[in-house]
Amino acid sequence: MSRKTFPFRVPHSVPLYLAPMAGVSESPFRRLCHAHGADVVVTEFLSAEGIRRENEATISKLRFSPDEHPIGVQIFGADPAAMADAAAVVTDLFMPDFVDINFGCPVKKVVRRNGGSGCLRDLDLVQEIIRAVSKATPLPVTCKIRSGWSEEMRDPVGIALRCQDAGARVLALHARTRTQMYTGQANWDEIAKVAEALDIPVLGNGDIKTAADAKRMLDHTRADGIMLGRGSYGQPWVFKQARALFEGQPMPETPGVHERFAIALDHARLVQGYEVDAIGAALEFRKHLGWYVKGLPNSADLRKLLHQVRDFSEVEEIFSNYLLHYEEYRAQRLAASDPDISDLTCEAA
């Protein structure tokens, strides 16, 4: 099967994307995921109105480092003129590798203004937005969609073809409808049908929790790339693991507790170097800490401590104290010749 050509340089023929996720895919996490094997990253979705008005808080989220390329900036909105203005601002001020349009977000506060997946109720509007954005920037314009607004309006191939006809250069499909939100199962058969129907690269997204899931999706759908979202939470190494499986290589082992904590601390340092508000950054980072320790022995108690931190210095102390008890616990299990000792480094979900 011949691979489709991406409109910007990607390091592998089947790239692994970090999905755009509000409050998660910020610059520090994007840099970390790149370092651990993500080929392409996308910013958290940002309001076109906020960008065109150069709202300080919105513009601050557009900052990215040179080591984040290739990177796309994702924008959302329902006004073609505002979306065009936002794309022009993004291009002039930041020059990412592409501009991505969000037609997939299902949350009420976005849909209420007809943004995100709300646009899928009006496919003429979807096309107007893509055309307006494409005219406003020389950068490739890509988009992310869902399979439809509702079961009654479910038509991923039809929606995808209209996006392609309007000028989209890459299309990502989260194979659920908006009304499904994140319930039920993503329909990977729909990704396969869209990948077959389109001439542009198609990315598969939805229900990838592990590297093995990414490989299964690739085999099932023959998509041109795979986009990981929630499956990257607390395990940025999932990209390297998936790449190994894609290339028929042995999958790298999931990091043990010491290495996992070291990666979490690397992430924390990146956040400290990026954010201005140290306390606010520490509070926001609590969710990442919870994800990093998921599945470890006594993780519930560990999470309680980590969800109370107000300063990054506390994190290292909590990790150090945990490791002291962990080594004692591990020694006891080894002394007892416990056959389940390998479970102490189980993969985070």
The CA-CA-CA angle for residues 246, 30, 323, to 5°, reads 85
**Considering only CA atoms, which of 37, 69, 28, 68 is closest in space to residue 267?**
28
Q: What is the DSSP string of 180-203?
A: TTT-S---HHHHHHHHHH-SS-EE
**Phi and psi of 227, rounded to 5°?**
-110, 120
**Considering only CA atoms, which of 109, 101, 112 is closest in space to residue 146?**
101
**Phi and psi of 36, rounded to 5°?**
-105, 20
| Residue 251, marked binder | no
The CA-CA-CA angle for residues 9, 58, 11, to 5°, reads 15
| Residue 209, marked binder | no
Whether 105 is catalytic is yes
| Residue 83, marked binder | no
| Residue 3, marked binder | no
Number of Cβ within a 10 Å radius of residue 271: 21
Residues 6+ apart with CB under 8 A from 325: 298
| Contact between 40 and 72 (Cβ < 8 Å) | yes
User: What letter would DSSP give residue 32?
Assistant: H
What's the token pair of residue 99? 């501009």
| Residue 21, marked binder | yes
Q: Catalytic pick from 33, 105, 143, 163?
A: 105
> Which residues are catalytically annotated?
105
* Residue list for the binding site for FMN: 20-22, 74, 144, 174, 229-230
* Residue list for the binding site: 20-22, 74, 144, 174, 229-230
